[in-house]
A and B are shown apart, each in its own frame.
Chain A
């Protein structure tokens, strides 16, 4: 473990930045992320009052809102050794763009830089920061039921802003019974692009239909990615086209917690196990993170 000045014995303290999409849409991804971080030897907390990384505002030219959200993130997370997010897009926002929001404000800029340097996308954190022994401990999860061949979609921000490419593939190689196959143009944008996908639905639709075609061309039963935004887009298009493939966040598969895929029914459909889903749909389902 690099980069912490704490005593060797103390586990690194990670503040999980859940991301708004995981918080709202896909809690399973959040629990899987906690599971993986703890299995890698981290102490994980979920700071209260977190909402959004500010990227939608930032990318729409609303620097004021983005700055306000950035301050709140800095306040909540700078006390941790690391900020980790199950999203290349949000981690990219914080790591690459937070400091530029404070160009004219040395104090905040310094704090933003301090946090940016300690901000990681989940899979790259597990591989690049936690290191080989920790990554080794993460091996052995079971492939999702009914899935033998899966393909990985490289989300744009993770790939190009943070260099996330080999890390998720390396970790996925450790999943028992899972064949990772490459699709054509895995690194081409799926057409999500935040507000882009609702502002220019026609263009976005063409892009995601090509992505879905490529997934099918790879002969994969499931598509995995590190960003829930892309996954919602891809899953939504697959449903619209009536395609059979399943859609998971990569963390869910790595944690052996991939159960109900994105866009799959919570009840009344075979092949899904809504275990423990007492209240509120399927959110309580799945294994609780082991402590």
Chain B
């Protein structure tokens, strides 16, 4: 999709006015936070695992070229093919080529965030392919023609009524009446419809949670089993993955797996962790005949070489979103692109450009909760601060906020000026506010008073009162 992140304030405004969304986000917060808490509390080794995972990933990233080569040679040795895509257009073109060479008409997809990142679906459809998202959440938003609002639960913003209506509309051509409103009925309906698609698909495209250099394997982690059907039933299996997904070996995988599900959904293990290596073996009774891995850079090597390398440790668990009060207030669509919440506020500017997303690093209170829960110990607040510094250098941001800040900086650096100016201003404000104690409206402070009163200052500054009381010598 075309990034809309520069419109964050408008989109946030729309989201804030949406009562249904508010209920959905409340429900999500309660569920995700509580479940994670229980799972983490039940595992005393969690901090040690976190530390180990960080070390594993840092080591891999600092040798990423070698591990990628190792991965590639293993894929080739097991009969698969690796393709390299420097950017989104290259990734799309490569996958379309593979589909064409396979004579494909229908593609089923497992959930892939990098697939969303490179806008794969639109490209495949333009190339004349029928694309079916099979993760239930992705399927719902595909029917609704929307983007995911959460990296783990893409349709978190949709109510069951909306989902029922979507199914009723889109399933009518299949000769199916509107489904019931029960959760079970909706899930059963999706299962029934998508099963037909799995069975007729020529190509299955999945993402990868991890790539294993030891064996050339790709790993997906799901709860529904849709990824496995996409992996196994179509003739051709294409994996699309960011280059940062590599881990050295299976033991490293085990460590990170212990963190992933707990952080994402509070499970100890997701239902399906599937390790795929090459195409079906000659004697196998099922499995794809072709196995392709498309490795996507799209800005990642840039992060690797600079001050944002640590972001590449991200395992897309969603814990930072679930614990982010800004995400909780506005939901995923306000962020205007596929990655949302704290991780999205770092990744989006780095992938689409800061000038197109400069709001995202600023729309954050730097409260630090994301870093606290991130299983990969990614210092999200300090990365957001670094992005702000880049924006500041480039003069991005509104004039008023830059001006206000510059004025404050100017005064704060000149105590001899600061004291009388502050003293006078506070004196006036204190006097004006003495009866009501707070202001409903203040010139130049519209951002503050839009949603809250401005309490009146006491009047005299502390430093003046302190000196006046003869404590000045101290």
Q: Is the CB of B465 within 8 A of A60?
A: no
Over the window 116-160 of chain A, the binary record of Cβ atoms lying under 8 Å from chain B Cβ atoms (1 yes, 0 no) is: 000000000000000000000000000000000000000011011
- State how many angstroms separate the Cβ of B403 from the closest Cβ of chain A: 12
Complex: chain A residue closest to B8, CB-CB: A200
B427 is an interface residue with CB less than 8 A from chain A: yes
User: Is A217 positioned at the interface, with any CB of B under 8 Å from its CB?
Assistant: no
Of A189, A207, A281, the residue contacting B460 (CB under 8 A) is A281
B463 touching A18, Cβ below 8 Å: yes
Q: Are B415 and A51 in contact (CB under 8 A)?
A: yes
Interface size class of B (residues with CB under 8 A): 35 or more
Which residue from A156, A194, A266 sits with its C-beta under 8 Å from B368? A156
Which residues of chain A in 205-251 are interfacial with respect to chain B, using CB atoms and an 8 Å cutoff? 205-209, 232-233, 235-237, 239-240
Q: A23-B422, A266-B459 are in contact. Are A189 and B388 (CB under 8 A)?
A: no
Q: Which chain B residue has the least Cβ–Cβ distance from A282?
A: B458
State how many angstroms separate the Cβ of B37 from the closest Cβ of chain A.
12
Option from A161, A188, A281 in Cβ contact (under 8 Å) with B458: A281
A191-B462 in contact (CB<8A): no
Q: A30–B462 contact, CB under 8 A?
A: yes
A108 within 8 A of B: no
Tell whether A59 pairs with B368 under 8 Å between CB atoms, given A44-B474, A52-B408. Answer: no
Q: How far is the CA of A107 from the CA of B77 in the complex (A)?
A: 55
Q: How far is the CB of B307 from chain A (nearest CB, A)?
A: 11
Instruction: Identify B369's interface contact among A24, A160, A193, A196, CB under 8 A.
Output: A160
- Which single residue of chain B is at the shortest CB-CB distance from A15? B474
Q: In this complex, what residue of B is CB-closest to A66?
A: B409
Residues of A within 8 A of B387 (CB): 61
A27-52 residues with Cβ-Cβ distance < 8 A to B are 27-31, 44-46, 48-52
Give the complex CA separation of A61 and B430 in angstroms. Answer: 32
B12 interface contact, C-beta 8 A? yes
Q: With A188-B325, A284-B465 as given contacts, are A62 and B409 in contact (CB-CB < 8 Å)?
A: yes
Select A266's contact among B329, B398, B409, B437, beta carbons within 8 Å. B437
Distance to closest chain B CB from A283 (angstroms)? 4
Most buried by A among B366, B447, B458, B465: B458
A173 at interface by CB-CB < 8 Å: no
* B184: chain A residues within 8 A (beta carbon): none
Complex contact B418–A51 (CB within 8 A): yes
Chain B interface, DSSP helix/strand/loop, else mixed: helix
Q: Is B13 interfacial (CB 8 A cutoff)?
A: yes
- Assuming the contacts A191-B365, A201-B448, asked whether A49 and B415 have C-beta atoms less than 8 A apart, the reply is yes
Q: A201–B13 Cα gap in the complex (Å)?
A: 10
A268 to B469, CA, bound (A): 26
Q: Which residues of chain A come closer than 8 Å to B452, judged between CB atoms?
A: 205, 208, 233, 236-237, 239-240
User: Bound state CA distance, A61 and B389, in angstroms?
Assistant: 3
A266 CA to B437 CA, complexed, in Å: 6
User: Does A275 reach chain B (CB closer than 8 Å)?
Assistant: no
Q: Does B372 contact A (CB under 8 A)?
A: yes
* B312 interfacial contact with A, CB 8 Å: no
Which residue of the partner chain B has the closest CB to A18?
Answer: B462
B408 CB, nearest partner CB in chain A, Å: 6
Q: Which residues of B contact A281 (CB under 8 A)?
A: 430-431, 433-434, 456-460
A39 to B183, CA, bound (A): 62
B328 to chain A, nearest CB (A): 8
- B304 within 8 A of partner (CB): no
B362 and A62 form a contact (CB under 8 A): no
Instruction: Please measure, in the bound complex, the distance between the C-alpha atom of A168 and the C-alpha atom of B398, giving whole angstroms.
Output: 38
A4 interface residue (CB < 8 Å to B): no
Interface residues of A in 163-216 (CB under 8 A from B): 187-189, 191-209
> Which B residues have a C-beta under 8 Å from some C-beta of A?
9, 12-13, 16, 325-326, 329-330, 362-369, 371-372, 385, 387-393, 398, 401, 404-405, 408-409, 411-413, 415-416, 418, 422, 425-427, 430-431, 433-438, 440, 445-448, 450-463, 465-466, 469, 471, 474
